Structure 1
Amino acid sequence: MTTLRKEAVHYIEAQHTGIPYYQVTPQEARAMRTATLWQSPHRPKLASIKDYNITVRDGAAITLRLYTPVLDKTLPVIVYYHGGGWVYGNLESVDAGCQLLADQAQAIVVSVDYRLAPEYPFPTPLYDAYDSLVWVSEHIKAFGGDVNRLTVAGDSAGGNLATVVAYLTTTLGGPALQAQALIYPVTNVDFTTESYQLFGENYGLDAQGMQWFSQHYTDEANFTNPLVSPLQLENVRNMPKTIIIAAEADVLYDEGLSYAEKLKAGGVAVEHVTMPGLIHSYFSKMNYFEDATNETVAKIVEFLK
């Protein structure tokens, strides 16, 4: 029996006041889900937060936001991909989490504003994610980053992009990674697991919502493509050490656990952490889940030591 934390209950209650996002257009859903500015006395003081435009493989420009905790010191680097079902989310939606991660990990965090579906369906978000990693590896030294201490991270669809990027860079001979940190990642576009049955309605991410996201991201024929559903990867032996942080009451719980088991079976060092009483998307809802976000950041920081 799952007992939700009070902040999760408050968040769920607040979502009952309007039309579900998956009953409107992606453009309308984005307007409904604009990020709320994090107002807290606990905000860390960073040396700098700056945006940079980079050019990706098709000639388009996307934005990276660099969070630097201190200057005049070589720092590890975390490339972060936001969640939002590949359909919404942006630099603002994970701004608070990235600030905390930069401060507590004493790392340069690079948040990636990859392009979104359905205007830019698979594989464009993935290509943006990978090209951003390559740009970071080639340029981060100039910002005080240590390319030999490079981690990818992300939440939900961003966790999906992070781990597929990790797979691509290991198979293509791209930038070497120290680790990957995945917060309730999408690892298998399949809506039939037990966690889908248990938490498919009114737990932060409805089953209908996940279907809506997936259909906007790519054609159903691609749902079993390993670059969409990394649980389908045949060989994960060369993946970096991995932490997977799961919300207990989440439709994605089972596939995240299965992915942890797959990595472990492939000889990858894996830590799977369940966050009790929490629901999907808590990491990007700072005004409800500040304590839980801090807990999550602390677990990632400890893992990366």
Structure 2
Amino acid sequence: MSSENSETEITAKRAKELDPDAESFLETLESEGVPQVETLSVEQARALHTDAFTPEAEPESVAAVEERIIGTFGKNIPVRIYTPEGSEDGQHPALVYFHGGGWVLGNLDTHDSVARSLANRGDCVVVSVEYRKAPENPFPAAVEDAYGATKWTATHAEEIGADPDKLAVGGESAGGNLAAIVAQMADEKELGAPDIDFQLLAYPVTNHDYGTESYSQNGSGYFLTRPLMIWFWNHYLREDVDGNNVRASPLLARDLSNLPPAFVLTAGYDPLRDEGTAYASRLNEAGVSIEHVNYGAMIHDFLNMRQLDDPFPDVERADDALDRAGEALREAFEE
């Protein structure tokens, strides 16, 4: 399955082509005087992000939610396990999910809504991972936790109601970065890696490079900015040269030919658009089954912009994108 889909012509003219809900979200940021994250301390940024993306509304119902602490590479990290609604006795495929937030922000609560939706729409057990954050735990700590959590899920699949032979990884933004890297590590059979059947990459970070056209077009004014990405990378990497490591920049990997099928989601008004598109193209060129969907009128992180508290609007296109992601998961697990 190889396809390239674009919903609008990508332009740099915000008012003309931007989705109305995304425009309203950006206008609310401005009217509420929300500060630029890169001007804040890490503690202030985390508090702001958690407050904005942890809605008070009743969450989407799932059959069960379980909190656990698991061991990865000698470290204990929390995971939250979601069993899909309408589940009967028996095993479900598993999705190991890594939230976004630039390796610095985000937690199980800020991305609870997306995890619940993917469980129900993908009819799979979702293991959402609270990997260690930078700058307290810089690169490659998050990679180690992501890989370790994937191994743990494969090993403990049956006890959490999952099928050990149907395993996917996925994530958004920095979480998409981690998912892509875990898929590459599993392909290399590092440290007894599990077999991964599918990768779900939503507007992933794939390269430590600010020189793309989408950075030029969308580097300011669209929520995720060039200065903020620099702030994220600077907190994440131990030193700048780490950005050339394939465990930080999966686009730099030489051989992608043995990777599992992928669903790659990008947004037109996102500085990360071009590196996500480049990764999808490289997978396609390597013969990997790939579906790439570009929501040309949307901004970064839009999957997580539903069910937000007032005064922020619901971004309706998030539901469509989650439906398509869920469909991709179900189709992958049926093959």
TM class by smaller structure: over 0.9
Q: Does 1:85 align with 2:99?
A: no
Residues 1:38 and 1:156: Cα distance change in structure 2 (over 3 Å):
farther
Quick check: 2:22–2:315 contact (8 Å CA) kept in 1?
no
The answer to whether 1:266 aligns with 2:278 is: no
Deviation, structure 1 residue 44: 3.8
In the alignment, structure 1 residue 302 sits paired with structure 2 residue 330? no
Counterpart contact for 1:44–1:103, Cα < 8 Å: no
Residue 63 of structure 1, CA deviation: 0.6
Structure 1 residue 190 and structure 2 residue 209: aligned?
yes
1:71 is displaced (CA, Å) by 4.1
| Aligned-partner SS, 1:236 | coil
Q: Do structure 1's residue 203 and structure 2's residue 222 form an aligned pair?
A: yes
Aligned partner of residue 156 in structure 2, secondary structure: helix
CA RMSD of aligned residues (A): 1.3
Aligned partner of 1:247 in structure 2 is 267
Pairing partner for 1:226 from 235, 242, 246: 246
2:47 aligned with 1:25: no
How far the C-alpha of 1:294 sits from its partner, in A, is: 1.7
- Counterpart of 1:5? 19
- Bigger mean CA offset, 91-100 vs 179-188: 91-100
Deviations 1:231-256 (A, max 9, x none): 10011111100110001110000111
Q: Which has the higher contact order (CA 8 A, sep 6+)?
A: 2
Aligned 8 A contact 2:177 2:206 in 1: yes
Distance 1:45 1:231 in 2: 36
Which runs of no fewer than 5 residues in structure 2 stay unpaired? 1-10
Whether contact under 8 Å (1:49, 1:67) holds in the other structure is: yes
Q: For structure 1, which runs of at least 5 residues remain unmatched after alignment?
A: none
**Using the alignment, how far apart are the partners of 2:48 and 2:222 within structure 1?**
18
Matched with 1:15 is 29
Q: 1:38 to 1:185 in 2, by over 3 A?
A: farther
Tell me which amino acid in the other structure corresponds to 1:22: E
1:94 and 2:111 are equivalent in the alignment: yes
Structure 1 contact 282–289 (Cα < 8 Å) conserved: no
The answer to whether the aligner puts 1:174 opposite 2:196 as a matched pair is no
Inter-CA distance 125–21: structure 2 relative to 1 (3 Å threshold): same
CA contact (8 A) 2:269 2:300 kept: yes
Equivalent residue of 1:33, what SS? helix
* Cα deviation, residue 112, structure 1: 0.3
SS at match of 1:276: strand
8 Å CA contact 1:126–1:165 kept in 2: the answer is yes
Query: Which residue of structure 2 aligns with residue 158 of structure 1?
Result: 175
How far has the Cα of 1:14 moved from its partner? 2.3
Partners of 1:18 and 1:291 lie apart in 2 by: 22
Runs of 4 or more above 6 Å deviation = none
User: Is the alpha carbon distance of 1:175 and 1:111 closer, same or farther for their aligned partners in structure 2, counting shifts above 3 Å?
Assistant: same
Equivalent residue number for residue 316 of structure 2: 291
- Count of residues in Structure 1 that have an aligned counterpart in Structure 2: 302
2:79 to 64, 67, 70: 64
Deviations, residues 196-234 of structure 1 (Å, cap 9, x unaligned): 000000111000000100010002111111111111001
Identity of aligned residues (%): 36
Listed one character per residue, the Cα deviations across residues 278-305 of structure 1 (whole Å, up to 9, x for unaligned) are 1001122222445222212211122221
Structure 1 pair 108–290 and aligned structure 2 pair: CA distance change class (3 A)? farther
The answer to whether the Cα contact below 8 Å between 1:97 and 1:293 also exists between their aligned partners in 2 is: no
How far apart, in 2, do the equivalents of 1:303 and 1:104 lie?
10
Matched letter for residue 243 of structure 1:
F
- Is the CA contact 2:303–2:319 (under 8 Å) kept in the aligned structure 1? no
Q: 1:117, CA displacement in angstroms?
A: 0.2
CA distance in 1, matches of 2:120, 2:263: 19
